[in-house]
Amino acid sequence: MLSRSLPNQKPHLAWGNSRLLPVPSNFRSFLKYLLISIGVLIIDHFTKYLATVYLKNAPHWPRSWNFFYFQYAENYNMAFSITAISMVWVNLLGLVATCLVIFYLWRYASGTAKLPAWGMALILGGAFGNLIERFITGFRAMANTGVFKGYVVDFISFDWPDWLYFYRWPTFNIADSAVTIGITLFIIYAIFFEPREATANASSKNGN
């Protein structure tokens, strides 16, 4: 719980008469963005559950649609079914990337720029959603076959017209979408907004 502090002191976590760690000033902002990540995680796993229940061993839905439809698929590769490296490296890189995103979310949560914080929150929710599912399905497979082989459920499909270069867009899920949107927001901030903020900060320092 929080201990009582003097007016100019930061609140501290306390248990009994022991003072533990100081509560960071950006902790509340971090929790706010963390709730966004948790929301993405819940939506992602709920939609994967629906896809498993209603689409597994069934034709795609709606059956009359050929451009956009939902179809169950088990993805043992990277996001958007991209095959590049072994599953061990996919899981390790996913774990490292998730830790890095948590660090940057903590960093941007305390700033005034909301766009990168939103981006990091979406990336964290999507990355963590896929990572959790890979570990769950991997340990389940290892219990049955002795081989750790985790996968994520993909169910969103696009078929491009034949005259376009792309024959078929890889099947994906809500987590992949959240990661893509989050990266897009971060790139927009880095290209269009961050240079302006750096220029404004430099001008204010020179003015002082």
Q: Which residue has the tokens 């599912």?
A: 133
Q: What is the pLDDT of residues 72-86, one digit of tens each?
A: 999 887 655 555 556
Q: Is 154 a catalytic residue?
A: yes
Query: Domain for residue 13, yes or no?
Result: no
Per the structure, the complete domain to which residue 193 belongs is given by 26-207
Cα separation, 136 vs 145, in Å, equals 14
Q: Does the global pTM surpass 0.85? A: no
Q: How many domains does the chain have?
A: 1
Cα separation, 170 vs 44, in Å, equals 17
Query: Domain for residue 2, yes or no?
Result: no
Task: Kindly tell me the burial class for residue 91, based on how many C-beta atoms sit within 10 Å of its own C-beta (0-12, 13-18, 19 or more).
Answer: middle
Of residues 26 and 185, the one with the higher pLDDT is 185
Q: Is 159 a catalytic residue?
A: no
Q: What is the pLDDT of residues 26-52, one digit of tens each?
A: 788 899 999 999 999 999 999 999 999
Query: Domain for residue 21, yes or no?
Result: no
Query: Domain for residue 15, yes or no?
Result: no
Query: Domain for residue 108, yes or no?
Result: yes
Using an 8 Å Cβ cutoff, are 30 and 109 in contact? yes
Q: Could you say which of 44, 159, 162, 176 is catalytic?
A: 176
- pLDDT above 60: residue 139: yes
Query: Domain for residue 14, yes or no?
Result: no
Q: Is 175 in a helix, a strand, or coil?
A: helix
Q: Could you say which of 44, 154, 159, 162 is catalytic?
A: 154
- pLDDT above 60: residue 21: no
